[in-house]
């Protein structure tokens, strides 16, 4: 009798995805969506050859060392700052993510936050619902112009490029960007975007969208001094990761009129949100939902599942993060 490898799914996911995994594996799932601490996660991982994670579970050197049969961690997210990828590589464990499939959906949401913050959509809706709307006034909830204003993008990967195209083509915006590496002239032309220094980006953007990955280098990439360099009329949008913005400094700038508005989908220490942000009207706050459409979340989950299936059944993965693990000699590979 062929014994199927065991895998763990750490959070509730679509039943169809559990069914897909069950064709190949003995699946231990968490469909009741319990919160596990690190010790509980390690306990549930015992004997497992693979794990399906979301961005919420930290897989570090301790977890890997305590789970010697674990061979692959498949993240249902494009971001993977919850993985200690160096430790995975050192220990011969493959990490995979879910790129591409959420690019357009996430870019749509970045624009939704930009429009909502700049045009004061949520603030004015709350006013109306509170029964405060008595009559029209010339400057009532007058916000910032979006079309034709300068769109700044920090981090110009797939999602940054998709946002640039929306701004340049849909809203007639001059687009400036800053990134670790400059795009080719061909891609810049397709995106309608011009490369500038970070200082020029901060100084010239009417609306600045953050789409860079989180790392030690990008921690507080937008702090008090960066906010001071921005226009007081500007909008800041963070759909990247909490920790890229110093949330306390941002709240201070918004409260004192040094920045007009912000749209935030991610927060330092989420799901806790800085109380100073919660107290402000000129910030739109959403609970990390930029990729949340049913078709996209389904596609992300299927991609994470297919990374597990591909690797554990055929030694291949669709989106490997440390592909060097795939070519390790047999004796150096972890065994299930
Ligand atoms: C995920 C995200 O929904 O893909 C990412 O990096 O931030 C979101 O799309 C979240 O990380 C949960 O997995």
* Mean pLDDT, the chain, integer: 97
The verdict on the CB of residue 54 being under 6 Å from ligand 1 is: yes
C-alpha atoms less than 13 angstroms from C-alpha of 216 in its C-beta half-sphere? 1
Q: What distance in angstroms lies between residue 78's CA and the mean position of ligand 1's atoms? A: 6
Q: Which of 27, 32, 106 is nearest to 74 (CA)?
A: 27
Q: What distance in angstroms lies between residue 4's CA and the mean position of ligand 1's atoms? A: 29
Specify the range with the lowest mean pLDDT, choosing from 50-64, 176-190, 268-282, 319-333.
Answer: 319-333
CA distance linking residue 278 with residue 284, whole number of Å: 9
Look up the pTM and report it: 0.96
In this predicted model, what pLDDT tens digit does every residue of 41-93 receive, in sequence order? 999 999 999 999 999 999 999 999 999 999 999 999 999 999 999 999 999 99
Cβ atoms of 51 and 59 within 8 Å: the answer is: yes
The verdict on the CB of residue 296 being under 6 Å from ligand 1 is: no
Strands 50-53 and 94-96: unpaired
pLDDT category, 331, cuts 50, 70, 90? low
Cβ atoms of 99 and 111 within 8 Å: the answer is: no
The verdict on the CB of residue 76 being under 6 Å from ligand 1 is: yes
Q: Please confirm, yes or no, whether 24 is among the known catalytic residues.
A: no
pLDDT of residue 336: 66
Q: What distance in angstroms lies between residue 256's CA and the mean position of ligand 1's atoms? A: 32
Cβ atoms of 51 and 72 within 8 Å: the answer is: yes
Nearest CA to ligand 1 atom 12: 55
pLDDT at 1 over 80: no
CA distance linking residue 273 with residue 250, whole number of Å: 12
**Beta-carbon count within 10 A of 278 CB:** 10
The verdict on the CB of residue 107 being under 6 Å from ligand 1 is: no
Range 174-201 average pLDDT: 98
CA distance linking residue 174 with residue 183, whole number of Å: 17
Beta-carbon contacts of 204 under 8 Å, excluding residues fewer than 6 positions away, are: 150, 152, 176, 196
**Beta-carbon count within 10 A of 127 CB:** 15
In this predicted model, what pLDDT tens digit does every residue of 191-250 receive, in sequence order? 999 999 999 999 999 999 999 999 999 999 999 999 999 999 999 999 999 999 999 999
Which secondary structure element, helix H or strand E, spans residue 86, and what is its range? Answer: helix 85-90
Q: Please confirm, yes or no, whether 241 is among the known catalytic residues.
A: yes
**Crossing angle between the packed helical segments 121-129 and 103-118, to the nearest 10 degrees:** 60
Nearest CA to ligand 1 atom 6: 79
pLDDT of residue 224: 98
Range 138-147 average pLDDT: 98
pLDDT of residue 328: 86
DSSP-derived 3-state class of residue 260 = coil
pLDDT at 335 over 80: no
In this predicted model, what pLDDT tens digit does every residue of 247-273 receive, in sequence order? 999 999 999 999 999 999 999 999 999
In this predicted model, what pLDDT tens digit does every residue of 87-115 receive, in sequence order? 999 999 999 999 999 999 999 999 999 99
Q: Which of 20, 120, 241, 297 is catalytic?
A: 241
pLDDT of residue 2: 81
Structure tokens at 319: 């989106």
CA distance linking residue 195 with residue 190, whole number of Å: 13
Percent residues over pLDDT 70 in the chain: 99
Q: Please confirm, yes or no, whether 288 is among the known catalytic residues.
A: yes
The verdict on the CB of residue 242 being under 6 Å from ligand 1 is: no
């Amino acid at each position: 009798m062929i014994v199927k490898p065991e895998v763990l799914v750490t959070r509730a996911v679509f039943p169809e995805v559990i069914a897909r995994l069950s064709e190949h594996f003995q699946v231990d799932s968490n469909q009741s969506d319990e919160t596990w601490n690190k010790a509980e996660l390690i306990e549930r991982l015992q004997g497992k050859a693979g794990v399906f994670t979301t961005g919420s579970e930290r897989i570090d050197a301790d977890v890997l060392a305590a789970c010697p049969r674990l061979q692959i961690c498949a993240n249902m997210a494009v971001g993977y700052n919850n993985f200690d990828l160096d430790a995975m590589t050192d220990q011969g464990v493959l990490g995979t993510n879910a790129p591409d499939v959420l690019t357009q959906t996430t870019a749509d949401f970045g624009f939704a936050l930009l429009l909502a913050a700049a045009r004061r959509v949520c603030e004015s809706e709350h006013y109306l619902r509170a029964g405060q709307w008595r009559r029209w006034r010339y400057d009532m909830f007058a916000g910032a112009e979006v079309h034709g204003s300068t769109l700044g993008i920090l981090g110009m990967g797939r999602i940054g490029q998709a946002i640039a195209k929306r701004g340049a083509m849909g809203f007639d915006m001059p687009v400036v960007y800053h990134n670790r590496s400059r795009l080719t002239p061909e891609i810049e032309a397709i995106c309608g975007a011009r490369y500038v220094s970070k200082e020029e980006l901060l100084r010239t953007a009417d609306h600045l969208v953050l789409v860079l990955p989180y790392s030690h280098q990008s921690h507080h990439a937008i702090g008090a001094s960066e906010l001071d360099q921005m226009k007081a009329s500007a909008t800041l949008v963070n759909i990247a990761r909490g920790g890229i913005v110093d949330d306390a400094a941002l709240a201070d700038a918004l409260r004192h009129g040094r920045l007009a508005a912000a749209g935030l989908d991610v927060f330092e220490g989420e799901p806790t949100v800085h109380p100073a942000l919660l107290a402000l009207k000129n910030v739109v706050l959403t609970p990390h939902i930029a990729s949340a459409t049913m078709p996209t979340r389904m596609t992300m989950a299927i991609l994470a599942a297919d990374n597990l299936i591909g690797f554990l059944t055929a030694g291949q993965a669709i989106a490997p993060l440390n592909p060097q693990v795939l070519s390790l000699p047999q004796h150096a590979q972890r065994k299930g």
